[in-house]
Structure formats: C-alpha cells, structure tokens
Structure 1
Amino acid sequence: GVIYHDGQFDDSRLALNLAQTAIEQGGTVLNYFNVKQFIKAENKIAGVIVEDTLSKKEFEIKAKVVINATGVFSDAVQQLDEPGKESTITPSQGIHIVLDKEFLPGKAAIMIPHTDDGRVLFAVPWHEKTIVGTTDTLVDDIDAEPIARDEEIEFLITHAARYLTKDPTMKDVRSIYAGLRPLVKNTAKKTAEISRDHSIIISDSGLVSIVGGKWTTYRKMAADTVNTAAVHAMLPYKECITNELKVHGAVDTDGITGTDYYYGSDLPLIATLITENLTYADVIHERLPYRKGEIVWAVRNEMCMTVEDALSRRTRALLLDAAAAVEASQVVAELMAGELGHDQHWIETQVREFKEVAKTYLPSVNK
C-alpha cells in the first residue's frame, strides 16, 4: 500500500469563517438575502435588487461592479442578466453516507483508486464519524437540496463493505447527503472527465461570473475574479492581500479534541458564554456532541436565524446523525426563540420545516 498526506475541512464552517473575515476586513455581509434582478443604466449593470428572505422586504444596492460567484446557480444568475443565455456549467452530483467511527477506527482515511466502474472511493474520518463517498452523476435539475438516488446509496454501501472493518448495511447509515459540483461545461461525455478548473466570464452588461472551480483553490479563484472585476470596472489598482490572510478563528488546533476544533480562537469565548447558564453545558441530544451554549453562540455571533442553519451549517448535526438532529430540533428551536424573541408559532414552524428538509438525509429505515 501507499500512504500519502491530504487535507480535510468543514465546508460550511469555512464559508462562515470567510464571511466573518470579510466583516473584520471592513466588508458588509448580508445573510438570507436573494438577488431578484439587476439594476441597469444604459444597458450596463449598476447594482442589484435583493430580497430579505426572512422579512420579505426588498432593497436596492448600487455597485460599480457585480460579481456572480454562486456555484451551481451561476447560470440562473447569468440568465437574470441575459434571458435565454446558454448554460456555462454542467452540474454533477456527488453523495456521501455517514457511518459510525467503528467502521473506520483510527485517524487514517482509505482511498480506493478504481472501483468496478472506474470511480474513486474514499472513506474518511470526520467529526468522530466515517464518511464514505463519493459518486459522480450527471444531473439536469439544480436544487438547493439535491437528493441522493437509491442506486448511488447502494453503490457506496456495496463497495464500502469490501474495505471497511465491518460490512455496513442501510441500518448502519446515520445520514445521507448530496451536493452538486459546478463543473465548467465542455464536450466530455462523463462528468468525471470534466476539469475542476475555474473560468471567468464577463457579460456585455458587465456582470463578472466565475464558474467551475473547487474549494481547494478558492483563494486563487477569488484573487483572479476580483482582479478581473477591478480591471473591468477601471477601479484603482490594489495589491491582493488575501494570499497570506488568516481567516477568522485561525489558531493552532493540534491540542483541541472533539468537535471544538473548528471554533479556533473563538473557543475561549464560547467557554465563557456557557458559564452564563448551567444548562448551556448540556448537549442538545445524547447522540450529538453539540452543547446548548453552541446554539446560543451561533445565534449571537454567527448570523444563525433558522433551526436548519443551526443543525446543518453551524453544527453539522444533520449530516452526522439525521435522526438525532430531528429529535433535537425542538430543543434547538426553543433555545433560538428565547434568543431571538420568537413565539410558539415560530418554534412549531421551524421544527416542521426542518423535519421536512431532514427527510432526504434520513436512511430509509428511519423515514
């Protein structure tokens, strides 16, 4: 066998930390806002009309240049600018199943370079669980909550059984989740053959779109896009400062155990918050590592306004144990309502909406 070193990260936590870093650098971040249409002057984009999805209020934001960095939704945004514009990306779906740590004890991951149909399979330790993935399936429909297909799930379970310490079955699966890759469109017949590189497109009206790419190269993608946008908008030249910029929370985490590592330098502040209330040290569910105080922290400091965000994107409860996350949703909703000043109707609505989202994460034995 061959041992090599690779990296892993937590996507939603990094996205949050990048937003926090932008704020610390003087930027303004709008969470829960959707772009409805572009503002144009003499056929050139001069800003956007956005909607606050929580209050349903609309706002106009003027801009010297607008960047479209929306992943698989890039085509939809470009078509707001140019109705009928040909698509620029090919969406590819990848799914993962989550198993208990006992299926892959230790800290090392496993990579199977060639499955029966030539795919690459990974089994990776993550947040005290084992993630098995992934698939590469061409899809036509782009959805904010893509759904794993039965054949994809069966593929992962069948192949994982050949390599893991124990043979997993559907009963062992704690969560199933899917994501969409925004691959740059080309003539390749298989999505696995399409480049993961990024491309920058400037429309006639001046919309700067970045398509393709991957998390691994996000800093390069950002620098290329901002530099291109600045030149196009004839803005004053500024040297890129993000190459060595540390993101919010950056600290050596070697001595931090469990799920706490991703809070980084915020960890002492969370520890202080937990002392405010004796119940904040209690976990939100016996099968989940997250404490009530972390939910309060997410509301106060991480722009968290919904139960789904708390259980899916601030903690990773939905991805690690979907059934436990569903059972914890009532407790989480009550905590958040207390912080945000919401009533019982809000609690009931949030729990109901979260359970609806969670259905596609639950293994069939729990539905």
Structure 2
Amino acid sequence: MSTPFSVSSRSALFTQLSDSLFDVLIIGGGITGAGILLDATARGMRAALVEMQDFAAGTSNRSSKLVHGGLRYLKQLEVGLVAEVGRERAIVYENGPHITTPIWMLLPILADGTYGWWTTSFGIFLYDRLAGVRRHERRKMLRRKEALAKEPLLRPDVLGAGYYVEYRTDDARLTLEILKAAVERGGIAVNYARAERLLYEHGRVVGATVCDGLTGRRHEVRARKVVNAAGPWVDELREWDGSKSGKTLHHTKGVHIVVDGSRFPLQNAVYFDVPDGRMVFAMPRAGKTYVGTTDTDYDGDLARPRMTVEDVDYLVRCVNFMFPSVHLTSGDVESGWAGVRPLIHEAGKSPSEISRRDEVFVSPSGLISIAGGKLTGYRKMADKVVSLVARELAKAGVGPFPDCSTAHIPYSGGDVGGSARFPGFVARMADEGARLGLDWDAALQVAQTYGSNTDKVFAVLADAGGQAESYGLPRDLYARLVYGLEAEMVVKPSDFFVRRTGMMYFDMDGVRRYRDGVLACMADWLGWDAAVYAEMEAELAQSLEDATVPLGAGDRPRPANSSPHAG
C-alpha cells in the first residue's frame, strides 16, 4: 500500500522537490503549515511543505487538545476572536468527526472566583451565541447540588457551575489528517526536511535549500512564493531574510500533566479558577486525567521544552485547590508534555494576557511569515495567507486561483457522511474489526481514530496480521504501526508513540511494554543497520525521558499563594 505519504516515498518526494517549480513552498509542518498546504492544493496551486522535525512535533502536539471557542477571551473583550473560532470549531468537527468529540464541561463558580453566578450565566450565554452553538449544546446553569452531582470531586463550597460544550481533539492527528488530505490532492509534504537557508534572485526569495535529515543530502527547492509558517522559529527565518523588525515573537511555555484515572477519577471536563487568577483545564481521556496549562515566559530550547519541578508542583496545587479530596501529589503524575506558544509580543503584558491573534508579515524580499494564532483558528489563518499568495501570483501572471473552499473539504479519514452519521459508521467498522479477530473494544478504538481510513488499517490485518505475534505486538497496534509506515510517514519510533497514537502521554506502560517490538518491526520494514537501530533506540529513550515527570517534584514546597505562573 505505497502512498505519496509513505515513508518509502521519501526519496521520490525529494526528487520531486528538486525537479519542480512550485507556486508556493511552505516551511513548517504544524497546524498552520498543514492548513496552508490544504488550502493551496484545494485552489489548484502546486504546493510543497517541508518540516525539520516530525509533523506536529512542536506546538501543534503540545496544546490542551481542545478545539475550543476561547471562553476566557471574553474576559479580555476579544469578542471577535470568540465569534470566529467558535464558528471554526464547528467546521473542524464536521470535517473530521473522528478526531473531534463534543464534551460537556463544567465551569465552577466560587465565592471569590473570576466569575459570579450572573456573570457566568451571561458570559456563557454570550459565548454560545457568538460561537453559533447548536441549540441542544447550549449552556445550562447548575446549582450547587447539581454541580456536585455532576462532579463529586469538586470542592464542596462551590456555589454552582456553568455547564457548556467544548470540543476535545487529538491535535497531532488533526494536523496529520489535514496534511494527508492535502497530499491526496497533489500536495507534497516531507518530514525531517530542514530548510537551512533561503534562496534569492535579484533580491527576491525564490526557494530554500532543504536538508534531508535521514541522508544528509541537500536539495534546492524552487518556488514562486515562500511562506514561513515555522511556529516558534518564525523569527529565526525572518532573521535569515534580514527582515526581523517591528513586531516580534514572545515565547511562552505551557505544561500539562497526566494522572491515572484511578488516582484522579474525574467524571467531567472542568475549567476552573486557581488562586493566582489564572484558569486551568482538567480533562478525562482514555482512562487518564490530564491537567493544564501553565503560562510562563520561555527562552530555552525551542525544540525540546521540558517540564520543571515548579511546573509540576504548580499544577498539582491547582488540582488540590479545586478537588481537595483527591490529595494529589507529584508522585501520582505519570507523564506530561511541555510546549512553546509563539505569540506576538505586547509590551507590559504577562504571558496569560497576550492576545492569541495571528499576524502576517510580508518582507521586502517577498517572504510571507505568519505567527501567533490558535489551533482552532488555523483554517482562517491559512485562508489569509493563501489568498495573499494568490494575489501575488496574479501580479506575476500566474493563476487565477479560486477562493478558499476548505470549509467543505473533509480531512483524510473524515469522509463518513458528517458528524451525525459517525457513531453508526464506527459501530459498523468495529463489527468488521471483530470479524477480523480483533477485540471489539480495540476495533472500536481503531474506527474512532482513523475514521474512513479504518478499512486501510484493517487491510493490514487481512494481509499480514499474523506477523504481529512475531514482534510481540497486539494485532491492532501492529496494524496501526504498519499503516503509519505506509500512509502516515512514520520515520522514527517517537513519531508513532507520540504523534500517531498518543501512547507516550496516555499509555506510558504500553510504550515500555511494546517499544522493543515496535523497534524490531520498524527495523525490518526500513532496513535499519545496527548503528541506525541504536540511534532510533536512543531517540525513543529521549522521548520517554521528555515525557517523564522530573525528579524532585514536590520536594520544594512554596507558600500557598506563591506561583511562577501568575498572570
């Protein structure tokens, strides 16, 4: 099942990159770059994307994993932003119901909290109307007994709670499915392809030198327009271009921690006040509960932000503030992740106060850079950039190209007839998986994860599912791995464990149990020699270390109201 998004296609893709003239070259394979690639290919542009790490390896895999309307932005009077992203989340849900799930969320009301009863009621009412929330998902207001019945772990002195719908997602798979949809339309996307310098002719940017991170070979990629969608590295590319002036990025770090559901048995998603004035999410998922996020200034390694003792202690205190009966300790934390937010700097504002709006910069050389923004608003950001590219190309006599149409394009795996038909589709596919010998629950999880691509995952079982036992892997995990190699450009073991399955965050025991089998299977598929095997084994060990809670968390108590995360 070799596809244009197969790891075995990389050599041919680099040849295409070297031999073609593209209408647009996109540098950066996070959610923003993915959205731009899909929009450009949907309009008929010849488009390519290069990513120096794995797809979504940066910010787009380290969010709160919510496609949400940004209720807290009402507090900052960002009414337009709330309205825009609220409408966009409905589009994301319809285009990819397999990676977006509506969930009811509690907003507890405290006597000294951010919002009182009437403020909360009006705020969520306004939020629902601005976001265009469907009638059956509009907010409800719960009195104290009702709120505690919904979530018994809440602190007993809550006055009540708002109850409203948000949308949970898998941020890495959302990015991946958008990229796959673009590739299915003729786009080119390659991971571990680092842009090393920009190419110029007569003072205009005309492409980039790209290095294949696996072979070390360099390729000159030519394009009429170059888009810098490098997330936290946007300013680095602007420096290459000599155009870093005016507004610049402000990096902040956000950390999430994961606790087993048996230790923190949260029944509902909760968005709650903490003593320093911030608000934090606690979310049940896959038998775990994850909590985040922090918001602190960051000037460290952009490729490898880490949780610190202070980060973990802070979030543990946040849990114990709202859920005092849990008595959480840092020792209960199984895993976590840290991400860097590339925000537009605003002088005098704390990290939590900086707007999440996006900004587009066009340099004298013609380099187009986009920074800031939110996961939920990726499609509007892409529309803004690609429409600009289309206008610029028209000036050069290339085109014309139509307007944005991505509101109506399902993601890869999203062709299931819309969100209303998705539950029935999943049930049918789970039955099919059971007929192939999978445990019904495992088949259900595959169907929920891969949507209309589930039949391709099941085809692996039909063709070679018996090989799973030779690697000591469950049949469903083996099928997902082979599909990842053939259709999702899995290059390294962390690509699979972190961004294709999420196991690194939500099933660390499974990673440790099956890592040898996954390494052995990948070695056979990709023809690794002993040196490459050792390199990949070390790479996976590094990913495990990054997701592990730092030693010493909880050993340095601070005054109850002391926090490095105030905002």
Same fold judged by TM-score > 0.5? yes
Secondary structure of 2:209's counterpart equals strand
* SS class of match (1:160): helix
Q: How does 1:1-367 map to 2 (within 5 A)?
A: 1-82=161-242, 85=245, 88-103=248-263, 105=265, 108-112=268-272, 114-164=273-323, 166-233=326-393, 234=395, 235=398, 236-250=400-414, 251=416, 252=419, 253-254=422-423, 256=426, 257-258=444-445, 260-275=447-462, 276-280=464-468, 291-322=477-508, 324-364=510-550
- Paired residue type of 1:302: E
Q: 1:281 to 1:106 in 2, by over 3 A?
A: farther
Residues 337 and 11 (structure 1 numbering): CA distance in 2 closer, same or farther, change over 3 Å? same
Q: 1:148 to 1:239 in 2, by over 3 A?
A: same
User: In structure 2, the residue corresponding to 1:26 is in which secondary structure?
Assistant: coil
How far does residue 217 in structure 1 lie from its aligned partner after superposition?
A: 0.4
- Distance verdict in 2 for CA 1:232–1:107, change over 3 Å: farther
TM-superposed deviation, 1:87: 6.4
Verify the 8 A CA contact 1:35 1:50 in the aligned structure 2.
Answer: yes
**Could you report, residue by residue, the CA deviation over 1:249-302 in whole angstroms, capped at 9, with x for unpaired residues?**
00344354446512111112212212322253899779xx96122111111111
Deviation, 1:55, is 0.8
Aligned residues: 364
* Structure label with greater radius of gyration: 2
SS at match of 2:162: coil
Structure 1: unaligned runs, 5 residues or longer:
none
Residue identity opposite 1:159 in structure 2: C
Give 1:366 deviation, angstroms: 11
1:34-80 per-residue CA deviation (whole Å, 9 max, x = no partner) reads: 10111101110011110111111110111110011111111111111
Q: For 1:107 and 1:238, locate their aligned partners in 2 and report how far apart those are by CA, in whole Å.
A: 46
Q: Secondary structure at the match of 1:95?
A: strand
Q: Offset at 1:121?
A: 0.9
Query: For 1:180, what is the secondary structure of its paired residue?
Result: strand
Once residues 296 and 88 of structure 1 are traced to their aligned partners in structure 2, the CA distance between those partners, rounded to angstroms, is 42
Give the letter aligned to residue 371 of structure 2: V
Task: Classify 1:330/1:9 alpha carbon distance in 2 versus 1 (closer, same or farther; 3 Å).
Answer: same
- Structure 2 residue matching 1:349: 3-state secondary structure: helix
CA contact (8 A) 1:104 1:125 kept: no
Deviates more, 1:177-186 or 1:314-323: 314-323
Give the C-alpha shift of residue 214 in structure 1. 0.9
Moved over 6 A (4+): 281-286
- List runs of 5+ in structure 2 lacking aligned partners: 1-160, 427-443, 554-567
The 1-side partners of 2:540 and 2:512 are apart by: 7
- Higher RCO by CA contacts (8 Å cutoff, separation 6 or greater): 2
Q: Compared with structure 1, are the counterparts of its residues 342 and 91 closer, same or farther at alpha carbon in structure 2 (3 Å cutoff)?
A: same
CA displacement at 1:117 relative to structure 2 = 0.7
Output the CA distance in 2 between the equivalents of 1:66 and 1:91: 23
Look up the SS of the partner of 1:243 in the other structure. Answer: helix
Name the structure with the higher helix share.
Answer: 2
Q: CA deviation at 1:314?
A: 1.1
The answer to whether the 8 Å contact 2:309/2:550 transfers is no
Q: Indicate conservation of the 8 Å contact 1:48/1:61, yes or no.
A: yes
Amino acid at match of 2:299: D
Q: Is the Cα contact below 8 Å between 2:254 and 2:295 reproduced in 1?
A: yes
* Alpha-carbon spacing, 1:262–1:324, altered in 2? closer, same or farther (3 Å): closer
For the residues of structure 2 that align with 1:155 and 1:259, how far apart are their CA atoms? 35
TM-score (norm 1): 0.91
Return the alpha-carbon distance in structure 2 between the equivalents of residues 283 and 110 of structure 1.
40
Aligned-partner SS, 1:200: strand
Residue 86 of structure 1: CA displacement?
6.4
